[in-house]
Structures are given as C-alpha cells and as structure tokens.
Amino acid sequence: MVPIKAKITKKTKENDRVVTLEFDVKMPNAIPGQFVMLWLPGMEEKPMSISETSPRLSLTIADAGAASKKMTECKAGDVLHLRGPLGKGFTKKGKRWLMVGGGYGFAPLRYMARVGKDDGKEVEAVLGARSKNALLLPAKCKMHVTTDDGSEGVKGNVIVEMDRILKEKKFDCVYSCGPEKMMKAVAECAKRHGVESQLLVERYMKCGFGVCGHCSMGQFISCVDGPMIRGEDALKNPEFGILHKDKAGRAVNW
C-alpha cells in the first residue's frame, strides 16, 4: 500500500479529452478490472482502471476534474506515484466474450479483450460514445460502434446494438464498464438473454482499501468487494443505477 514512483515512458492521445500513459512499471499479476490509486504531488489521489500491463503498466485518463486534468497534461519523463493493483477484476467465463463499454470506460475492456484473444477466446466489443470525437482507439477484436449523434457507426446507444448481437449469436459472458445507468441497462439486457454479465462499478474512491466507505453501494464496497460485480447481484442492490455519493459523501441521484 506504499506508493511507488512511476515515470511516464509514452503518452498516446486517444481523443479530445482522453490520453493513455505508459509507465516504467511492470505489474504482471494485475488482471483486467483492477485499478491503481494514482497521485500527482499537490493533487489528491485518483483511482484509475488499468488499461494494459504488457509490456508495462498503462492507464487511460480522462480530463474530468482538476487532478485528472493535470494528469492528462503530463508528458513522457514526468514522475507520478501509484499504489496497486487494487480491487477485484473480471473472471474468465467460457469461450465467447462480449465487451460493452461507454466512453472512456472502454479502456479496461480493451485490456480484457486482449487477454481473451491471447487465450484463444472469441471476442467482440460494442463501444459507444456521444460522438466520433469521444471514442477510444479500437480494441484488437471485432468492433461494433455506436454514437448518439450518428457521427460514427450506428446512431443510438450500446444497448440497441448489444440486444441485436445477443439475438444473433450466443455468448458466454458480457463484460461492461461505463456510466452506471448504462451498466444497469447492460445487466438487464444480458439477463433477458440468459447470459452472465460482469460489471465494473467504479464509484468515488478515496482510500482504495475499504476504510472510508465512500465508494459504497448499499453493502457493496466498490474498492474491495469490486469494482467487478456480477450483473445479477448488482440488479438486486437497491442503490445500483439510482443513488451514489458525491465528494462530500452525500447520497444523490444519478
């Protein structure tokens, strides 16, 4: 749990507000879905999903606030600090996998897709965003793209495309990451088709190891019980897709 220094070795611009940073850190035991707590001196720690570990650790960061904005402005040679890997990631299920991601939530799914392809799995992915400019770089698998404005791929949201795909082909598991309300719809869609789903519920984490309880969703503590939670369990949680905690710890509607 002691932070280590991590030097940026490569920076890739994904889109207008998202970058991927590769560090001089090897994390071979990390699995897709886990995260690290990333710290830039002078700013607060931020949880970041692991977006790749081969050949070294990569984190995909969106300009979503003061701390993350500073992180996206970092360049090769800059040094940050991190703790991890933390949390519980995805588990492998069957031979056919469908990834369903929204916006920059697609980053850990891209990592999972690569692991699946390396293991000989049949992998497809649905990636959705508001527009073409908000999409991440594609995964190395069959891709289905949706945008709200129709500027790339199918016009509409990921659920319409996911539903169509599941009607046409049998999958063993659906893996999802993105806005929580989107993931609730993903879990419901997977349930209708009789397919297991695994979701990454990444709530506002402060400590990363279950002490502060800030990232709770009912009795589920995202940083230690998750972030991965099975869709059927998430749908039983009374707060899932409905309530979350703001920076002050107050319960507010999504």
- pLDDT of the chain along its 254 residues, tens only? 789 999 999 999 999 899 999 999 999 999 999 999 999 999 989 999 999 999 999 999 999 889 999 999 999 999 999 999 999 999 999 999 999 999 999 999 999 999 999 999 999 999 999 999 999 988 889 999 999 999 999 999 999 999 999 999 999 999 999 999 999 999 999 999 999 999 999 888 888 988 888 899 999 999 999 999 999 999 999 999 998 877 777 888 87
The pTM for the full model equals: 0.95
Q: Which fold has domain 4-86?
A: Elongation Factor Tu (Ef-tu); domain 3 (2.40.30)
Neighbours of 192 (CB within 10 A): 10
Domain ranges of the chain: 4-86
Closest by CA position to 191, among listed 144, 243, 230: 230
For the chain, how many helices (H) and strands (E)? 6, 17
Question: How high is the pLDDT of residue 249?
Answer: 77
Distance CA 111, CA 149 (A): 27
Close Cβ partners of 15 (under 8 Å, ≥ 6 residues apart): 133, 134, 135, 136
Q: Which amino acid is at 153?
A: G
Question: How high is the pLDDT of residue 209?
Answer: 85
Question: How high is the pLDDT of residue 70?
Answer: 96
Question: How high is the pLDDT of residue 1?
Answer: 72
